[in-house]
Amino acid sequence: MLISMDEINQLKTKIARFCAWRERCIKETEDKLFTLGANAKQTQQLVAWLQKENYLSNIRFATAFTRGKFSNNQWGKLKIKSELLQRNIPDQIISNTLENIDQNEYESVAFSLAKKKWKETKTDDLFLKKQKTAAYLSGKGYESDIAWKAADVASQDFSS
């Protein structure tokens, strides 16, 4: 389907607004362009234009996404990485953004989540409680060694 020059300009305006609203990744933007009726060639050209005009950057997106999901949702690195991979963010960008998470803060958040989960878990079986706490942290994307370490800390905090 051929789109007129006027329609291309309208599409440029819409997609620029879409990208200006919040950080977007290339995949998300391509998906949006397809839903707006752009074909593959037009999508490729518009994505290149958006990048040239600094509306679109996978690096900025990955940085903002990582910061937001860690700070607001308290996700672990594994879950953040998985979500970024689903958005076709290159491994090198993912590694760089995950390195920006302060390790002390990361573990502190994991310990805090473990303590909260420990209090909420309704069982007297300490091993089961520790297992549920570690599983909860794993589900939030924390590495198993950190999840078990945090569960151990939580169990010690409440047993003494």
Distance, in Å, from the CA atom of 20 to the CA atom of 125, rounded to the nearest integer, reads: 52
Q: How many domains does the chain have?
A: 3
Confidence check: pLDDT of 158 > 80: no
Assess whether 52 and 9 both reside in one domain. yes
Which range of residues forms the domain containing residue 45? 5-56
Assess whether 110 and 154 both reside in one domain. yes
pLDDT (average), residues 107-135: 94
| pLDDT bracket for residue 8 (50, 70, 90) | confident
Say what the pTM is: 0.90
Give the other-Cβ count within 10 Å of 11's Cβ. Answer: 18
pLDDT tens digits for 51-91? 999 999 999 999 999 999 999 999 999 999 999 999 999 99
Assess whether 108 and 128 both reside in one domain. yes
Sign (positive or negative) of CA dihedral 86, 60, 34, 14:
positive
Assess whether 52 and 63 both reside in one domain. no
Q: For tokens 């805090």, name the residue.
A: 112
Assess whether 118 and 81 both reside in one domain. no
